[in-house]
Amino acid sequence: QIILWGRTEKCLKETTEEIRMMGTECHYFICDVGNREEVYRQAKAVREKVGDITILVNNAAVVHGKSLMDSDDDALLKSQHINTLGQFWTTKAFLPRMLELQNGHIVCLNSVLALSAIPGAIDYCTSKASSFAFMESLTLGLLDCPGVNATTVLPFHTSTEMFQGMRIRFPNLFPPLKPETVANSAVITVLMKQVWTMHVLVILKSILPQAALEEIHKFSGSYTCMNTFKGRT
């Protein structure tokens, strides 16, 4: 059975109905993961109404697509509360029971921007880098905890409304990923207990000097891809 959390009831209802039509039991709860008290309250409601959670997928995120000086302070805080701190609260809410049962998995749908930041999305890149460090530390802390694991997924640009309008220089060479592709890869990654990301990028960042990396980003259009950003928060 699947439990959905989100801030918009209309979207939750539609997705729940889709899942139920496929023959899977599904429930939804309205919850803003950036709100600590709300997370703990709804986690209690889930346990009472449905039961224990054994796989937690942290997927909630927002992006505002502006430079630091053009960003509203509240918008910057919102990104950090949802993209980063939200994982602290959800993990604290469900991990203790997983440890008791010796059965659980914490999954983070992160972004390749956690490893390679771009201009124009400073709130998002910062929150994702912090989220990556959170998961890295959590994973190491679970090494001696039998039956409980953690997995981080760092996909490339995915074709959702979130990054609508973002353009890279060579879209045929680096096409946006379909949400279904990311979802399927996430499931496989969880089963294999490994990180899924652009390994070439990780290798390049490890061996090339900063000046060379900057030239690669300029050539690929990474530094200007947010100029046409429209997005959805």
Catalytic residues: 124
Residue 151: φ, ψ to 5°: -135, 135
- Residue 150: strand, helix, or coil: strand
Beta bridge partners of 149: 105
Distance CA 73, CA 93 (A): 28
- Residue 101: strand, helix, or coil: helix
Query: Do 216 and 109 meet the contact criterion of CB atoms below 8 Å apart?
Result: no
Residue 30: φ, ψ to 5°: -80, 120
Residue 28: φ, ψ to 5°: -130, 150
Beta bridge partners of 40: none
Number of H helices, E strands in the chain: 8, 5
